[in-house]
Every structure is written in C-alpha cells, then in structure tokens.
Structure 1
Amino acid sequence: MVNTLLVLAGSPRREGNSATLAKAVVRGAQAAGTEVVLRFLDDYISGFLRDCRTCRGADGHCTIADRYGALFREDFLPADGVVFCSPIYWYGLSAQTKAFFDRSFCYYAASNPDSVDVLNGMAGKRLGLVLASEETYPGAALGIMAQMQEFARYTRSDLVDVIRGIGNSGGEVRDDPADPLAQAERFGGEIFQRPYSDYRLDTPRARRVWGDGDHAG
C-alpha cells in the first residue's frame, strides 16, 4: 500500500523560503515512493471563516465560493499525512495557513450532513510542520508549535517533526548552515516510518526507543 502525503504551502511566494522547503519535502517523499502533492493555499482560499449560521446553505454545506472545499475534501481528508509549510508572520502562522484550519469548521460541524465522514477523515494522520523565518531566535516558533501540538491532539494525529529554516530574501534558506533543506527532504522520505512517542500514563513502553539492543550507559 502506497502512503499519500499532502504538502500545504502557506506563502504566496512560489520561490520563497517556505516554498523552497516545501519542495524539498516533496522531493524526499517522491524518492521514497510516496504519493505526494504540493498545494499552495492561496490557490484555494480567497476568504476567511464567516458566521456559518448566516452563510451555510439550506443543505448544510459551506457556500463560500472558492476552491477550499475541493482542497479539503479531495486532498486533505484522504491523505495519510500532511506537512504544513508556513512562514512565521508576527510569531504565528501565515493568514492562509490559519484560514485552512479555521475554514475546516464548516465541514466537521454537526450541522454539516457529512460531518461524521469528515471527522473520520481528519483523524489519525501523520503530521509535519516546516517553518521559515528571518529570526534565529528559537522562541519565534513556539506559538505555532503549540498550536500544531493541540491540533494533533484534537484530531488524534501524530506530530512527527518540526523543521525550521532561517532566511529572509527569496530562497536564502539554502544558505542556512543547519541545512534545513536536507532536513526537510529527509523528513519527506521518512514521515511514515519514523518512530513517534507520545506517552500517556497507561501507554505500554518498550525499554528502548531505537532498535532492539540492550546497551548499558
């Protein structure tokens, strides 16, 4: 069975740092034999969440006339994994990326006749977060990481990794000495294989995280 990966780019800049990192994720996924698609959110989202009580159609479906519904139903829900790639704006996600999360409410709310199927499709994914910023300050990404952790918890999904690249001018992330492009490419190839640990009190635990050996130290 071939895994399907959706990579969502939250910047309108096709050659910017977020897009550069997103394309690296795609390369890694393709090399691993994963079925992967890259979508730029501004191709699909033209507006923000509205008051569903006033704009929802008589059939219970969203009436905002853009391509978000197609992206959400045809690409996001069937995907086994999703990697969100966003620049850091004001220490948060880009407006396009935030709108992707906000707009999903219209589809999983109980007033939507397809809400049960939508909830099932939203749950249990493997997730990744790839960020680009000009600040090297580590705390610049903390708010976004917290939001993604809560989204993963809420949807019973696994936030497998967070990658961050530093750069300002278009594509400058290539010059980051931490080599986030290599990290992103490797992550694209490994998102479905990497071990993931998120323990609860009653979670069965193995003695080791990596491998089966028993090494003292």
Structure 2
Amino acid sequence: MNILETVADQSDAMRLPLYAVTVTAVAREEAPALLSLHWHGFFRQTPLHLPGLELPARPVPQWMAQFDMPPGVLDAFDALEQSLLEAAWQLGAWDVERLERPAWWRLGAPATEVSDGRRAFGYYEDDDSDNGHVMADAPDREELMRLAAHRGYLRWLFRPRKRGIWAEVQDDGDDTLDESGGRPLPCPVMPQPLHGDDAARRTVYRLGRADRILLGGG
C-alpha cells in the first residue's frame, strides 16, 4: 500500500478535511498493519426529517484499511516508518509521533492501557457494533487486536496540513511548507531504532521548522 496515494484517494472521495492519520501494527513483523484516516466532519445518521425536531449530527466514522508489511526487507518496521515519514512530510505534518506499547493482557494492566489498545485497533467501548465509529476494510482486525494484547503494538500518528483541517491555520510558523501546504521529497528525517523492550515509549519526529519569530497578539 502506498500511504500517500491512499490518503489522497480517500480524501478526494470523502471531500472532507482530515484531522489525523494513524497506523497501528502488532509488535511482530509478519502481521498486517492498519491504516486509519480520521475525518473532521459530521453527518446526519438518518435522512428522516421530522417537523420541529432537530436530529443531532454524528462525527464521520474513521476509515480503516488493512495492509501487509513491506516484504523482502531486513527491517519491515523501519521500512514502514520510512514510508510514513515520507507521507507525513509531503502532507505538511508538523511532526510524527510513534508510540511503543506493551502487551495489555497481563495481571494489573491499567484500564486506560486496555482501552487505548482497543481503540488503536478501532474498538470503542460505547459502540458494540463499532459501525458508528469505524468504516473498516480490515478482515483480520479482531485477530490483530488479540495478538497485540499478548505481544504489544506500535502506533504512529501525524496531522496533515495539506488535505487536513490544519490548513485552516493561516500562519503556524512552519517555514518548510510550499504554497500547497506540503513539502517535496526527499524527507530529511530518518527512522530511529525501536527500543524493543516491554516499556511504554514515545518518539516524536519533528518535520516542521520555524525560522521566524512569531509574536502573539495583545
């Protein structure tokens, strides 16, 4: 899967700005990964119109697709992260966040850790069917979540300026962006090795740069 092309195709189809792009992978290279697009937008759950009754709108569900890890490479996670950095760079993201999370199927695991793990795979406690939160083309999603519960997982996140709601920020001080809100390749930021232990880790790759001094309004 080409991450940048997939984001562009879905963005053109939805005609909505993106809030964030995430990728989740079980901590084993042979397992597929999940790409999620989080939209900024609302829709009415039903076309029904009742006089005098305003039916509430609901957030547009996140879109999720399953894809195989890069084959035939020495380090599949490194190759995946490189493609993510390149996509985020071209889409004008300020940074890319990588979380390394341990297995949560263990005695004494905090409830928040369990909830975060399930949400990373698109499962939400307040929706048993998940249809209200996720539009998924991921046949192995449930099995991947079960593997992650025992093996741990990785989750990457970036917020695109190009094709995203962040384009509405008129002056965020990022001097690396072109007129479209993106950046041309090559991406100068390279992947860093995974820690590979059972601790929760967070790595942030800074892509943007501010060369100007921004003064806040009084």
TM range (shorter): under 0.3
The structure carrying a bigger helix percent of its residues is: 1
The structure carrying a bigger strand percent of its residues is: 2
Q: Which has the higher contact order (CA 8 A, sep 6+)?
A: 2
